[in-house]
């Protein structure tokens, strides 16, 4: 385990109202560290950032080939390429059919809420998740609106706010689960948490509040 992991482990053990190194066994799992962080931030008037995702009348359609022409063969690839070129020159009509994937889907994902999306295969679950993450294929015909805190996808960079993990996500086979998560966290960077910790430390000092030892540990680790 690296130094940052050791600091985080020690800091998690040092949490608690009593200020002692070890908690009593009956309240170890009573409150999460995130709840304690939020309570500490609220003590000096810092509001934790939250995101509300709204999607309204979301529709998605794809043009697909049906029958034998949709099979991935070399001959079909050549024929389909010639047909697409002829269709672009208005020499032949397109033989593709429109397949609806999402139809008038609306909903709200509230902040700090775990949402489980269930549906049979082919019902459009992946397409909906990609739409919410701003990663839909450009070839799809999309209607509707997706907003983050009232801002549409064109007003910010969705990749910096949301992430989509495919069920076929590739990992380095030689790395353990712990090493994989640590590597991903380092690639992602500190983000807004460092700025919040800095502001929290400054406000505690201005209010003559003794800084928490955990804050110092996290600041040094970052």
Contact 182, 5 (CB under 8 A): yes
The confidence band for 221, taking pLDDT boundaries of 50, 70 and 90, is: low
Q: 163-195: per-residue pLDDT in tens? A: 888 877 777 888 888 888 888 777 766 666 677
- Gap between the Cα atoms of 10 and 214, Å rounded: 9
| Whole-model pTM over 0.75 | no
Q: Which two tokens stand for residue 21?
A: 């190194």
Q: CB-based contacts of 200: which residues, under 8 Å, 6+ apart? A: 40, 41, 44, 46, 215
Give CA–CA dist 32/29, Å, rounded: 7
DSSP-derived 3-state class of residue 159: helix
- Distance separating alpha carbons of residues 131 and 58, to the nearest angstrom: 9
Residue 96: pLDDT over 70: yes
Q: What's 189's DSSP letter?
A: -
Q: Crossing angle for the helix pair 3-14 and 213-221, nearest 10 degrees?
A: 170
Could you tell me the sign of the dihedral formed by the alpha carbons of 30, 35, 39, 40, in that order? positive
């Amino acid at each position: 385990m690296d130094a940052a992991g050791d600091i985080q482990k020690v800091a998690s053990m040092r949490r608690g109202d009593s200020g002692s190194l070890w908690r009593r066994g009956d309240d170890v799992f009573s409150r999460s560290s995130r709840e304690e962080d939020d309570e500490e931030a609220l003590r000096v008037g810092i509001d934790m950032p939250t995101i509300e995702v709204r999607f309204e009348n979301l529709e998605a359609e794809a043009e697909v080939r049906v029958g034998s022409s949709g099979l991935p063969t070399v001959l079909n690839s050549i024929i389909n390429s010639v047909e697409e070129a002829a269709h672009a020159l208005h020499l032949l009509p397109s033989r593709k059919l429109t397949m609806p994937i999402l139809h008038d889907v609306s909903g709200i994902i509230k902040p700090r809420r775990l949402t489980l999306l269930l549906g049979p295969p082919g019902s459009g679950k992946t397409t909906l998740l990609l739409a919410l993450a701003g990663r839909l294929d450009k070839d799809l015909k999309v209607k509707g609106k997706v907003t983050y805190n009232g801002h549409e996808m064109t007003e910010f960079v969705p990749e910096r706010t949301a992430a989509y993990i495919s069920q076929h996500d590739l990992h380095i086979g030689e790395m353990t689960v712990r090493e994989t998560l640590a590597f991903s966290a380092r690639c992602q960077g500190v983000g807004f948490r460092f700025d919040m910790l800095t502001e929290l430390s400054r406000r505690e000092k201005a209010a003559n509040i003794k800084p928490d030892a955990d804050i110092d540990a996290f600041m040094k680790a970052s």
